[in-house]
Chain A
Amino acid sequence: MFDDNATLKPMNMIEAIRDAHDVMMERDEKVVVFGEDVGYFGGVFRCTAGLQEKYGRSRVFDAPISENGIVGAAIGMAAYGLRPCVEVQFADYVYPAYDQITQEAARIRFRSKGQFTCPLTIRMPTGGGIFGGMTHSQSPEALFTHVTGLKTVIPATPYDAKGLLISAIEDEDPVIFLEPKRLYNGPFDGHHDRPVTPWSKHDAGKVPEGYYNIPLGKARTVREGNDLTILAYGTMVFVAEAAIEETGIDAEIIDLRSLLPLDLDAIQQSVEKTGRCVVLHEATRTSGFGAELMSLVQETCFYHLEAPVARVTGWDTPYPHAQEWEYFPGPKRVSEALTKVMEAA
């Protein structure tokens, strides 16, 4: 996937995302980047810092506060033959663009039988943990996985963020690229009362310079284990690690990385091996992506299961402000679920 001789460079997730843009803009002049505050300023999270200076205003520019406008214009650009990569400032702001994403971007190929296509990447920070309240904390992944024609990707490390974003930009179809904002600066494990380890002290914070890609639809086994399978993505990957450490359960952690396409083979192989499964996500529970994962495990692994599949998720409430840590499915709740599933049958 990348040159073994490539220099590894310590990067946090923001730097890795910026580097992916840089690599792709350098390689392909069709790549254009725009969104609110992304131009001169380089984005409120700094993910596009320096790109306008390097590639010019015609390829990196600020957009009006108009998500339907940003995505609609990007669809037209993609139809022309460019490869736009646009930023929606927070996933919570994507809804004005939902019509353009679900009814247009997702179907341009289908309804024109491939005469027109939509190679478009829509990046947006997702998830909570920063005291952003109900308008800066949402995890809307299931609203996109439910729409055919889209791909939905969530990296959990700088290394994956760069490789997956490069694949997203290269993809011939629209990709929703969700960036867990609580992971931008370090592998946050849900212990909000402890300092976060910076990415510079984590193996996945060593990122190869230059081009490499990680194919969409391939999960990553974070940790091998025999007792139980944890299916997670984004911030919950590190919460799962903390819970394993605290319970001592020999669990296998699968970081799905891409929800659609989904690496069902990896899920199936792991659950068949362990016979137990816990599904984690930060998003609200009802009709969440966890429901899909539990159905798939039930459909494909039923006769290997030794306990009912469990899930730990955000509560079915709007994301509260002061009660952030009661809402967030942290290590304590995950540990309890793991213990319960191990005790079953």
Chain B
Amino acid sequence: MSENNNDYAPLQIHVPEPPFRPGDAPDFSNFDVPVAGATPRPPIDASREDLEPYSEQVIRVLDDDGKAQGEWVPNLSDEEIDAGMRAMMRTRAFDERMMKAQRQGKTSFYMQCTGEEAIATAQQRALREGDMHFPTYRQQGLLFAQDWPVSKMMNQIFSNIEDELEGLQLPVLYSFRDAGFFTVSGNLATQYIQAVGWAMASAIAGDTKIASAWIGDGATAEGDFHAGLNFASVYKAPCILNVVDNRWAISTYHDIARSGMSTFAERAYGYGLAALRVDGNDWLAAYAASEWAAERARRGHGATLIEWVTYRAGAHSTSDDPTKYRPKEEATIWPLGDPIERLKQHLIVKGLWSEERHVQAEAQYADEMREEMEKAEANGTLHEYDRPRPSPKAMFEYVYADMPEHLRRQRQEMGV
């Protein structure tokens, strides 16, 4: 090491730490809870300069009493909001059932989105048929918002004989082209620039479809995220660039992905893109912001990054134990609350819902998922080697459009 024979103090490396670790009493009193309705809704062709404040202030529609406030209150019918509630509740019921299924050894792996259900279920409602999502593993809400058959998801999770991917891909890394749901990669951030490319293609082809890119806070540190922002800005790609900041990338606090000095939305501002910061646990705000960004993209004004402020209430995956790195109570005192509870409150205020009906609905969806799981189990589960399973042939058949000779020989060598 060098000798400090000068008047400079030794430099020190700064490694950000989360404010609370296990054993600490978490305290969000410094968290700036946004005021519902305080943020004006700009026109969809607003300039980057006009949008500058939006990369810091957080858009919120639902207030603490469940009332919808301000210019961002979306123009949705009671039925549409009710459908949003149903989609969130079914997503959660599905997650609970699949977490149990994994613990019962019926599959290798599962990933829940507890606490983040509003974001995907609301955005799906703002998009149109033919648009394409490039999701991560935590956007199952996109599927529930379009009533995608639960059986298709469960069969995939169990890698059974009805799995449309024939067991080739890890559980929850779905591919549902007809649902506008691009094949999910296990490698993070790669889909972000692909979504931008898909949107560029739509513009090259003179189409009117848009793409929606998804990423978590942690993976925004990858180069593909930044390439995505740059390409989206350079080519004015018609897409939505979602950043779901749930504060935790497995055990890593979001200040490691970006210093605590800036927001994720401010990243976009630097690239010359529109950006919004939104209360991700507010289903009405999530819909309104998605609808704004979708319209902006579809009218040719380019991409919008939406930073969703939320909290990963569950574990990262079935392989993770968050009590090892964060206080257990953090999720329960998270100041933006729970998205289902908040929309429930709103529906109750509007006279469309009640506590009794909520309990009834919870039971109904739990029953639905139990019944669906029984049906899916009848098709087999991952470790049942004595029952019909996806054919080993499949692994050779989908590598290339036409099987090359060397693969044909290897398949024969395997004896199938």
| A residues with CB within 8 A of B | 32, 58-59, 64, 66, 68-69, 72-77, 79-82, 96, 99-100, 103-104, 108-117, 148-149, 151, 171-173, 217, 260-262, 264
Contacts and interface: CB of A to CB of B under 8 A. Distances in A.
Given A68-B227, A103-B185, A76 B200 contact: yes
Nearest to B199: A76
Interface string B169-190: 1000101110000110101001
Nearest to A148: B399
B404 A73 contact: no
A116 B400 CA distance: 12
A261 B404 contact: yes
B227 A77 contact: no
Contacts of B224: 68-69, 72, 99-100
A72 B228 contact: yes
Contacts of B164: 113
Given A72-B194, A77-B198, A111 B227 contact: no
Contact residues of B: prevailing secondary structure: helix
Nearest to A217: B404
Interface string B196-235: 1111111111000001000000000001100110110010
Nearest to B232: A73
B204 A109 contact: no
Nearest to A64: B230
B398 interface: yes
B406 interface: yes
B190 A76 contact: no
Contacts of B173: 111
B231 A64 contact: yes
Contacts of B405: 217, 261, 264
B165 interface: yes
Closest 9 CB pairs of A and B: A76-B197, A73-B197, A72-B193, A69-B227, A80-B201, A112-B175, A76-B198, A76-B194, A172-B401
Contacts of A103: 185, 187, 190
Interface in B268-290: none
A10 to B, nearest CB: 34
19 contacts: A66-B227, A69-B193, A72-B224, A73-B227, A76-B200, A79-B197, A79-B198, A80-B198, A81-B205, A99-B190, A99-B224, A103-B190, A104-B194, A110-B398, A112-B175, A113-B394, A115-B176, A148-B407, A260-B404
A93 B204 CA distance: 26
A72 B197 contact: yes
B190 A72 contact: yes
Interface in B296-344: none
Interface of B: 132, 134, 164-166, 168-169, 173, 175-177, 182-183, 185, 187, 190, 192-205, 211, 223-224, 227-228, 230-231, 234, 394, 398-402, 404-407
Contacts of A80: 132, 197-198, 201-202, 205
Given A111-B183, A113-B166, A264-B405, A59 B194 contact: no
Contact of B183 (A72, A116, A148, A149): A116
Contact of B175 (A74, A75, A96, A111): A111
Contacts of B169: 111-112
Contact of A110 (B168, B187, B198, B406): B168
Nearest to B163: A113
Given A69-B231, A76-B194, A111-B175, 10 more contacts: A58-B204, A73-B200, A74-B197, A76-B197, A81-B201, A109-B398, A111-B168, A113-B164, A171-B401, A264-B406
A73 to B, nearest CB: 3
A301 to B, nearest CB: 16
A115 B169 CA distance: 13
B211 A76 contact: yes
Contacts of B407: 148
Contacts of B404: 217, 260-261
Contacts of B199: 76
A150 B136 CA distance: 24
A115 B183 CA distance: 8
A260 B407 CA distance: 11
Contact of A68 (B132, B166, B175, B193): B193
Contacts of B211: 76
A66 B233 CA distance: 14
Nearest to B233: A64
B195 A108 contact: no
Nearest to B166: A113
A75 B406 contact: no
B393 to A, nearest CB: 12
Given A113-B164, A261-B404, A77 B204 contact: yes
A264 B409 CA distance: 12
Contacts of A64: 227, 230-231, 234
A142 B193 CA distance: 26
- Max chain B Cβ within 10 angstroms of own Cβ: one of A79, A81, A96, A217: A79
Contacts of B228: 69, 72
Contacts of B227: 64, 66, 68-69, 72-73
A111 B204 CA distance: 27
A76 B192 CA distance: 9
A45 B15 CA distance: 46
Nearest to B209: A80
Contacts of A114: 398
B348 to A, nearest CB: 41
A217 B402 CA distance: 12
B399 A111 contact: no
B406 to A, nearest CB: 7
Nearest to A263: B405
Contacts of A149: 399-400
Given A32-B204, A76-B193, A115-B177, A109 B165 contact: no
Nearest to A73: B197
A79 B202 CA distance: 11
A77 B198 CA distance: 5
